[in-house]
Amino acid sequence: MDNSVESGEKRLRVFGALSGRRSFSSSSSPSSATIPLPCETKRMNLFSAVNEALHIALESDPRAYVFGEDVKFGGVFRCTSGLADAFGTHRVFNTPLCEQGLVGFGIGLAAMGNRAIAEIQFGDYIFPAFDQLVNEAAKFRYRSGNAFNCGGLTVRSPYGAVGHGGHYHSQSPEAFFCHVPGLKVVIPRNPSQAKGLLLASIRDPNPVIFFEPKWLYRLSVDEVPEGDYMLPLSKAEVIREGTDITLVAWGAQLAVMQQACAEAEKEGISCELIDLRTLIPWDKELVEASVNKTGKLIVSHEAPVTGGFGAEIAATIAERCFLRLEAPIARVCGLDTPFPLVFEPFYMPTANKVLDAIKAAVKF
């Protein structure tokens, strides 16, 4: 498996070169404020940052458990390496190959007051657990008037393109869960974000689905603060300021958007780039303020364009910023087709596709 991942990375380098809803707990949450980032940093990649976050979660809370398919030896992407040795196989353990079962087990574990951190091996495999997530985890608090809940459940899963995954290892299923009141959906863009957002998700009093962009597990390297820190959920971040057009994305697509912004700047176009970070509940106010300033918006994601979460953002901003819009809102997304293998470069929303959309909007 490691060899296939390394092979995929080589291909990726080639391709790469080219609110709050009322249904969420109102309990005070440690993710509602940022724990100050430690001064010391350490350079690491994304899967190492995830591993460090899990280590801190297990070390800081004896009620925390990590479980899933093959997590005991480290998992497919090695995100859980060393955790079973450090904390014992009673806290870090393998489950049967049954996503419905492992999520159902996590719901029960969380309902007993524990921190249940479940891993779905690939985002594509989360669908057998759909009923447990949508009909049980999301509704658990509300069927009892908050007499009991499973807010301690976090479901981690790698998602998105990897360069060689094809139909069953490359999907981006985030929009399915954004439709469900009671779940939070979080996606980081780099290692430092992954660590801070994952710790916040684990400690949040609501069930959270935490999608990790597998494209970036080894390719994304960053200075990551050492020690325990959290980043606030439901707060988007402006990672590039601009005046001519607003771009919104999440996960691995941020790197693509940054390339497009750099090329647009060469042609005198000033782009404001926003990382949504949390999709549900998402930071409508920050995006609205940016679009009111620029008058234009592009949303980009790997998932198919029809019914993707970009449509929700476009509709919301059209309602809120209608009189300020100077061009149609554009979506640069995956195609409405099953995820291809050899034709992946044609499917993906590339920097060139985003750049074309930027030019079209500015010239409109």
263 with 183, same domain: the answer is no
Q: Reply yes or no on whether 212 is catalytic.
A: no
The per-residue pLDDT for 120 is 98
The lowest-confidence range among 29-33, 249-253, 270-274, 348-352 is 29-33
pTM beyond 0.75? yes
pLDDT band at 235; cut points 50, 70, 90: very high
- Does any domain span residue 16? yes
Please indicate whether residue 9 or residue 306 has the higher confidence score (pLDDT).
306
Q: Reply yes or no on whether 99 is catalytic.
A: yes
Question: CA 188 → CA 18, 231, 235, 302, 357, distances in Å?
Answer: 23, 11, 12, 14, 24
Question: Of 69, 119, 136, 169, which is the active-site residue?
Answer: 169
Dist CA 32 CA 34 (whole Å): 7
DSSP 168-224: GS----HHHHHTSTT-EEE--SSHHHHHHHHHHHHHSSS-EEEEEEGGGTTT-EEEE
- Does any domain span residue 215? yes
Which residue in 354, 338, 235, 236 sits closest to 296, CA to CA? Answer: 354
Cα maximum dimension of the chain: 60
Q: Which of the listed residues 225, 257, 275 is the one where a domain comes to its end?
A: 225
252 with 314, same domain: the answer is yes
- Does any domain span residue 232? no
Give the whole-number percent of the chain exceeding pLDDT 90: 87
- Does any domain span residue 230? no
Question: Of 52, 69, 99, 174, which is the active-site residue?
Answer: 99
Could you list the residue range(s) of the whole structural domain that residue 259 is in?
A: 237-363
The per-residue pLDDT for 46 is 98
253 with 114, same domain: the answer is no
Q: Which of the listed residues 191, 225, 259 is the one where a domain comes to its end?
A: 225
203 with 245, same domain: the answer is no
Q: Which of the listed residues 169, 196, 225 is the one where a domain comes to its end?
A: 225
Domain containing residue 29: CATH number:
3.40.50.970
